[in-house]
């Protein structure tokens, strides 16, 4: 197995990672780097997320341990890829309308699920593997066709990585074709913050 990986941003290599001994969970990183999605301030919680929190209150509470980013090692990278592959392979995509006869319903998938269900399951598996909740953030984006979509954003020292049921690759957020709208707060899983996506005009122009 190679001990290096390259992360690309807009087709350009922005980081070559040499994996070795894991460092601290929150190394000194420049969060103003474009590899990190800039948050604005508090915003509304998605309706589906609010309903999910009513039945999963323990998963929507303030985070006891706040970690800015996870250190990306060969082991943690392999884990991200494995979880993304596993959930994408096992879960059959199906809309909430078809499954529950409602437009939006967030739930852990039972063999079938919508995009947010994929993301919730990936988050659950990574939490069980020991990842910090403050670095595993449910995120709402807009597709090029205007449709809403949900992904899991993972904050690492190499940037905000996206686990997506529509793409088998784990990619830096800026290298995905979405407009980023909002995500969970790092301090409180039951609260959300807006995202300032300066690429919105690029995404819109691509329609």
Task: Give the chain's domain count.
Answer: 1
Long-range pairs, 99-102, Cβ under 8 A, ≥24: none
Is residue 16 in a domain?
no
Is residue 12 in a domain?
no
Are 177 and 144 within 8 A, CB to CB? yes
Are 150 and 121 within 8 A, CB to CB? no
pLDDT for position 198: 84
DSSP letter, residue 102: S
Is residue 107 in a domain?
yes
**pLDDT band, very low/low/confident/very high, at 43 (cuts 50, 70, 90):** very high
pLDDT at 130 over 60: yes
Is residue 5 in a domain?
no
pLDDT tens sequence across 82-110: 999 999 999 999 999 999 999 999 999 99
Is residue 137 in a domain?
yes
Q: 46 is in which domain, residue-wise?
A: 22-205
**pLDDT above 90 covers what percent of the chain?**
78
pLDDT: is 162 or 100 the higher one? 162
Rounded CA separation 84/101 (Å) = 27
Is residue 120 in a domain?
yes
**pLDDT band, very low/low/confident/very high, at 14 (cuts 50, 70, 90):** very low
Is residue 189 in a domain?
yes
Average of per-residue pLDDT across 53-74: 95
pTM of the model: 0.85
Could you tell me the CATH number of the domain that includes residue 139?
Answer: 3.10.620
pLDDT at 187 over 70: yes
């Amino acid at each position: 197995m190679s001990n290096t990986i390259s992360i690309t941003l807009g087709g350009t290599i922005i980081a070559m990672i040499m994996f070795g001994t894991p460092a601290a969970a929150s190394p000194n990183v420049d969060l103003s780097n474009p590899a990190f999605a800039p948050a604005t301030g508090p915003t509304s919680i998605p309706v589906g997320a609010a309903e999910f929190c009513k039945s999963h209150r323990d998963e929507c509470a303030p985070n006891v341990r706040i970690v800015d980013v996870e250190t990306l090692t060969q082991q943690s990278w392999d884990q991200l890829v494995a979880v993304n592959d596993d959930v994408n392979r096992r879960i059959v995509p199906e809309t909430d309308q078809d499954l529950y006869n409602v437009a939006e319903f967030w739930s852990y998938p039972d063999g079938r699920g919508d995009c947010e269900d994929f993301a919730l399951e990936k988050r659950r598996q990574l939490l069980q593997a020991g990842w910090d909740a403050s670095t595993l953030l449910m995120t709402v984006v807009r597709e090029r066709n205007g449709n809403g979509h949900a992904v899991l954003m993972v904050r690492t020292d190499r940037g905000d990585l996206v686990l997506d049921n529509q793409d088998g690759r784990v990619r830096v957020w800026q290298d995905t074709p979405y407009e980023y709208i909002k995500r969970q707060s790092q301090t409180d899983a039951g609260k959300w913050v807006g995202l300032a996506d300066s690429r919105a005009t690029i995404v819109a122009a691509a329609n």
